[in-house]
Amino acid sequence: MDQEKIAERIRLARKDAGMTLQEIATAIGVTKSTVQRYEQGRIENVKQPVLEAMARALDVNPEWLMGRSDRREPENEIGFDDFTYALHREAQALTEENRNKLLEMARIFRAAQQADRNK
């Protein structure tokens, strides 16, 4: 992997997303200095899972972030882990009351789905 290209793309995607180094670090569970080292191309052992998590946090295609693709937009289909991450990311900004409403809505959808299966 080309560390300079990765660093440039992380920096570009972060600025476009309007995120701070700390916000990315918090979103992916690493320290701010780790994100900063990736962004500066100063990581000796580039870890693919960290780059994939960064790509999700920045809403970009992981292959683009790693310099393997020119397609910046993430894939349309999301897996369970990606969905869970996206839902978690969106719910963080909600009040506790609204998070509870969201959880209740999920329960309503699950009950309706189960009722449809039982028809």
Per-residue pLDDT tens over the stretch 1-55: 688 999 999 999 999 999 999 999 999 999 999 999 999 999 888 888 999 999 9
Residues 92 and 61 in one domain: no
Residues 52 and 90 in one domain: no
pTM of the model: 0.62
Q: What is the pLDDT of residue 116?
A: 84
Compute how many other C-beta atoms are within 10 angstroms of the C-beta atom of residue 3.
Answer: 15
Listed residue (5, 54, 4) closest to 26, CA to CA = 54
Number of domains the chain contains? 2
Host domain of residue 17: 3-65
- Does residue 30 contact residue 36 with C-beta atoms inside 8 Å? no
